[in-house]
């Protein structure tokens, strides 16, 4: 196998990153693609009680173990397997078990802050930013967190107003300037996705 191509898909929470990722995976064939979520690399907080873990700003760079993510991306690029952390959103902490991830032809890294870190950017062959209006993002976040992560409406809105919005403006939005491709319309942009697919095929 040749050296894997690493694609970074960034954008605000609820922007449509997963939509773009899923479209690319379906076009490329799941046997050829490994997907890594930045969320899996939230720092271990086993030393903190649940009440304190809830108060963590999960949209700030300090919440992530980017050193471990960089180490794992480097291993995958060098065709070595990794043991990826698994994050439990309901308890705001990593699980004790990990998931073995093997390198494949294409590695998709998806996350809100992956373009804000130079060491991560340097490992990416294609840098993508999904650009979506804030009102669409908050509605998507509410629906996702209530259905998939066991959150209440009040907690989602409180988190958005207290940390998510300010972190987006401070860290996520400025990282857009590093993107090779900016996808508008919340990920539902066939032309942009076809362009990324063509770039992968020709790499």
Q: Tell whether 187 is in a known binding site.
A: no
Q: Tell whether 14 is in a known binding site.
A: yes
Distances (CA, A) of 39 to 32, 62, 75, 92, 104: 22, 13, 19, 11, 20
Q: Tell whether 8 is in a known binding site.
A: no
Q: Is 112 helix (H, G, I), strand (E, B) or coil?
A: coil
**Residues paired with 8 in a beta bridge:** 109, 127
- The Cα 184–Cα 165 span in angstroms is 19
Q: Do 10 and 128 form a contact (C-beta atoms < 8 A)?
A: yes
**How does strand 82-88 pair with strand 93-101?**
antiparallel
Q: Do 11 and 132 form a contact (C-beta atoms < 8 A)?
A: yes
Q: Encoding tokens for residue 152?
A: 């209440």
Q: Tell whether 111 is in a known binding site.
A: no
Q: Tell whether 134 is in a known binding site.
A: no
Phi-psi region of 93 (alpha: psi -120 to 50; beta: other; left: phi over 0): beta
Report residue 80: phi and psi, to 5°. -115, 145
* Binding site listing: 11-18
* Binding site listing for ATP: 11-18
């Amino acid at each position: 196998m040749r050296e894997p191509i690493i694609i970074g898909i960034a954008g605000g929470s609820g922007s449509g990153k997963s939509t773009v990722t899923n479209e690319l995976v379906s076009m490329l064939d799941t046997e050829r693609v490994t997907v890594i979520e930045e969320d899996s690399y939230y720092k271990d907080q086993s030393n903190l009680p649940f009440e304190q873990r809830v108060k963590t700003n999960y949209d700030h760079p300090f919440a992530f173990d980017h050193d471990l993510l960089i180490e794992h991306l480097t291993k995958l690029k060098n065709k070595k397997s990794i043991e990826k952390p698994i994050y439990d959103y309901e308890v705001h902490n990593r699980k004790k078990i990990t998931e073995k991830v093997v390198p494949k032809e294409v590695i998709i890294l998806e996350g809100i802050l992956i373009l804000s870190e130079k060491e991560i950017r340097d490992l990416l062959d294609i840098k993508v930013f999904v650009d979506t209006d804030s009102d669409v993002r908050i509605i998507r976040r509410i629906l996702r967190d209530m259905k998939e992560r066991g959150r209440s409406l009040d907690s989602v809105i409180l988190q958005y107003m207290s940390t998510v919005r300010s972190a987006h403006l401070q860290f996520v939005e400025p990282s857009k300037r590093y993107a090779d491709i900016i996808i508008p319309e919340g990920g539902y942009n066939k032309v942009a996705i076809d362009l990324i697919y063509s770039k992968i095929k020709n790499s």
